[in-house]
Structure formats: structure tokens, C-alpha cells
Amino acid sequence: MALEVGIVGLPSSGKSTLFRALTGSRSSGDVGMAAIPDDRLVRVGETVGARKVTPAAIRVVEVRGTGPELLGNLRQVDALLVVLDAFSGTRAPAEDLETLRLELLVADRDHVARRLERVSKQAKSGDPALKREVTQLELLLAHVDAGASLADWPGKLPAELEPLTAKPLLAIGNGPDGIDLKLEAELAELAPDEASAFRERASALEEVVRRLTSELDLISFFTAGDKETRAWTLRRGSSALDAAATVHSDLARGFIRAEVIRWDDLVEAGSHAEAARRGLQRLEGKAYEVQDGDVINVRFNV
């Protein structure tokens, strides 16, 4: 599954502008895809003569308000991007960030309260597991009502809760001292080379990818075919089997071995055959820990 981020912020902070800067799409829909720029992928694609080069992508979801119901659409995302108005001179970004955090807390409280209401009804059947959940939800609600966040809960949370307050949060100051989103949204419509001539710094997309990579501890691996060469993201520490599952469930189910080579070794050798001749390609099992920049070919059997 692709990485997913949610854009939140107060009205007119620049949410739609960030959406356009990341996805390059003119319309500000609710959901779009941002392609992760990666020079290594381009070089690997050239080396194997790929007819198609597909970057890894981030699914970007914009919510157009801060009510609990709208924010509730973000329970599946991997991280939240909070846009703060630092361009108009009329806002205090640090205060707006606190307001946003409070909205997330309220959305989580609302979520727990709704679930408690539903599970309480079901628990009337006498099911002991449901009764236990009611007790736990009551404790959680008291915890949140005391002003704490679900992220501070000492025990294990029911998995279905997916608290917003527990998600990594990247604050994006929209303005000349942070990311100039208005400029970035305009540049996102140009060809990358053309756009970079207007910039002194990294693009909004590069900056967001850099921060997400560090916050979520992500790595990239590549699959290199002449038909298609493609980049994928994983959490650091993931196994060859996880990598296989990212590409296709069949590859994980029928996993035999993974042929692994570092991307720069492949580029240096000039082809898979030459890399193999030089002994740069290894055979690894399911448990192998994938390294950033690995080129992986899964041998499988279904």
C-alpha cells in the first residue's frame, strides 16, 4: 500500500495550495498522488533500459475543515501535514498549531465516545469481550476528558481506534521563512528542470518527502525490469518478504529467494549479467533486512 498523508489546517492556511504543490494537479480534489523524486531510480532505469520508470508515490488527502467528522477521514493515514499561515502576517503560527492539536484531540474524544456508545449497546448481549471493551473505552474517555491525549495512554489502545493524536505530525509554515506554498504550487505546473531554475532551495515536495522519510524512518528499494523499473517505500527494518508483499501478494505467497544488489553496484556494472559476473548480486531469504537503495528481484512460485 502506498504511503498516505493527510493535509490539515485552519481555513485559508494554504491546504489546497499545498495539495497542488505536492500533486502538481491544478484542481484541488480531495485525494491525489505525489510522485517521490529519486535520481537513483532514473539511473537504475537507464541501466536496465526500462521502457517505463515509475516513482514511488504518496497518497495525499486534503480535508476541508477541522470538525471531528472530516478529521475522522484521516484515521488511516501514516502522517499528518499541518499547514500554518505564516504568509499573511495576520496569524500566530504557533498558536494555530495548538488550536489544530486541540481539534485533533476533540476528534479523538468524539471517536472514542461514539465507539463507546455503539459497543455499550452490543455488550448488552452479555459478551465478555465486549464488556471488557466498554470498560476500557470508559477509562479512555475519562483520560481524554482529563485533558490528556490518546498518544499518552500508558496501555495498549484498541487497534481500531487509530488515534489522530498518535500520528506523526509535520508542521509546515506556509511563507517565505518556511515553504512558500503559493510559489511552489505555481512551480509544480512546470517541468522539473524549468521549475528548479526559479528555486534556491528544495521543492515543497522534496522537503515534505525528506521530513516524512526521517519522521517515519522510511527506506526505498527498486524493482528493475526492462518493461518497468519502479521505486517502492518501506519502513526501515522491513524484510525481503515485506518487500515482496509491497510489490504483489503473489510474490510474498510464493516467495523462494530474493536476488539483491545495491543500486549503485548495478549502475556501475552496467547490467544485471555483469553485476552477477562480478559477484555483486546476492541471494537472500525471507528474513533479510532490506537496505535503502537495494534493487530486489523476487524469485517466486505460485
Query: What residue ranges bind ligand GDP (CB under 6 A)?
Result: 9, 11-17, 87, 174-175, 180-182
Q: Rounded to the nearest whole angstrom, what is the least distance from the CB of residue 95 to Mg ion in the complex? A: 21
Output 56 or 181, the one with its CB closest to Mg ion: 181
Q: Which amino acid is residue 61, in one-letter code? A: V
Calpha distance 137→10 (Å, rounded): 29
Q: How many CA within 13 A on the CB side of residue 148?
A: 11
**How many residues interact with Mg ion (rule CB under 5 A)?**
2
Q: For residue 263, what is the DSSP state? A: H
Subset of residues 15 to 74 that bind Mg ion, contact rule: CB under 5 A: 15-16
Calpha distance 152→17 (Å, rounded): 33
Output 70 or 141, the one with its CB closest to ligand GDP: 70
Q: Rounded to the nearest whole angstrom, what is the least distance from the CB of residue 259 to ligand GDP in the complex? A: 46
Tell me which residue has its CB nearest to Mg ion: 16
Subset of residues 4 to 23 that bind Mg ion, contact rule: CB under 5 A: 15-16
Output 64 or 257, the one with its CB closest to Mg ion: 64
Q: Rounded to the nearest whole angstrom, what is the least distance from the CB of residue 20 to ligand GDP in the complex? A: 8
Output 100 or 245, the one with its CB closest to ligand GDP: 100
Output 3 or 82, the one with its CB closest to ligand GDP: 82
Q: Rounded to the nearest whole angstrom, what is the least distance from the CB of residue 210 to ligand GDP in the complex? A: 19
Contact 71, 7 (CB under 8 A): no
293 makes contact, choosing from Mg ion, ligand GDP, none, with CB < 5 to 8 Å by partner type, with: none
Q: Rounded to the nearest whole angstrom, what is the least distance from the CB of residue 3 to ligand GDP in the complex? A: 22
Q: Rounded to the nearest whole angstrom, what is the least distance from the CB of residue 7 to Mg ion in the complex? A: 9
Output 64 or 248, the one with its CB closest to ligand GDP: 64
Calpha distance 266→250 (Å, rounded): 26
Helices (H), 24-92: 39-48, 68-71
Other C-beta atoms lying within 10 Å of the C-beta of residue 131? 16
Calpha distance 217→214 (Å, rounded): 5
Q: 209: closest CA among 41, 28, 67, 48?
A: 41
Q: Rounded to the nearest whole angstrom, what is the least distance from the CB of residue 100 to ligand GDP in the complex? A: 12
45 makes contact, choosing from ligand GDP, Mg ion, none, with CB < 5 to 8 Å by partner type, with: none
Contact 121, 49 (CB under 8 A): no
Calpha distance 130→34 (Å, rounded): 41
Calpha distance 167→115 (Å, rounded): 20
181 makes contact, choosing from ligand GDP, Mg ion, none, with CB < 5 to 8 Å by partner type, with: ligand GDP
Helices (H), 146-239: 181-187, 192-196, 204-216
Binding site for Mg ion (CB under 5 A): 15-16
